[in-house]
Amino acid sequence: MENIFPSRHPLVAHKLTYLRDRDTEPKKFRELVREIAALLAYEATADLATAPRHIETPLAPMTGEALAEKIGLVPILRAGLGMVEGTWELMPQAEVWHIGLYRDEKTLKPVEYYNKLPVEPTVSVCLILDPMLATGGSACATVNVLERWGVKKIKFVGIIGAPEGIARLHREHPHVPIHLAAIDDRLNERGYIIPGLGDAGDRQFGTG
Ligand code: URA
């Protein structure tokens, strides 16, 4: 499928294995989420536009390049929070806009509970951050929110995707590139990704 980018980077594969391990404790888990998010964000931003920028080095004037697009990081609460820090380190000028969605355990559908976006969009490209692309419900709902806000360029950055969630996000929003560390086998009857890593929120915040 076009527009789906599972990382091929060995560092991502290595870190993901430790992230999945049930014996990895929350402190290490958070560190790995941060690092994997940074590596994926690096890949996801490879096509950002730049504009010429005139500077002087200590030795000579020259024209370099600077980012021409205003970036918004949009973590989906709460599991997406852990992906902000590593990504933000790479692009400290980015704005961070939070979207709160929880998954109704019965219907498995996303329910929006937090959204403080101003009326006019303040950024031109958004990276949606959510470690688990499971049913695709939250991802699609967030893309809808951002499109309504007026953002033209939207990318999804997750850690593990299930075929079901990837297919849904791709079907509903084919123009949204999907960057992942891995694509897993399937969803179980409770909407968890198999083999996955369990509940990404609980594992980061020690609430499992
Ligand atoms: N959310 C999680 O945290 N884990 C899954 O496996 C699916 C959704």
pLDDT digits (tens, 9 = 90+) for 32-73: 999 999 999 999 999 999 999 999 999 999 999 999 999 999
The answer to whether 61 touches 54, Cβ cutoff 8 Å, is yes
This prediction has a pTM of 0.95
Ligand 1 and 139: CB distance under 6 A: no
Q: Which of 30, 45, 43 shows the shortest CA–CA distance to 200?
A: 30
CA 14, CA 17: separation in Å to the nearest integer? 5
Tokens at residue 138, please?
């939250």
Catalytic, out of 8, 22, 63, 107: 107
Catalytic, out of 168, 202, 203, 207: 202
**If pLDDT is split at 50, 70 and 90, which confidence band does 103 have?**
confident
Ligand 1 and 159: CB distance under 6 A: no
- Burial of residue 32 (number of CB atoms within 10 Å: 0-12, 13-18, 19+): buried
Q: Which residues of 169-182 are buried (b: 16+ CB within 10 A; e: fewer)?
A: bbeebeebbbbbbb
Cα-to-centroid distance, 43 and ligand 1 (Å): 23
Residue nearest to atom 2 of ligand 1 (CA): 199
Task: Report how far apart the first and last C-alpha atoms of the chain are (Å, whole number).
Answer: 34
Q: Is 23 a catalytic residue?
A: no
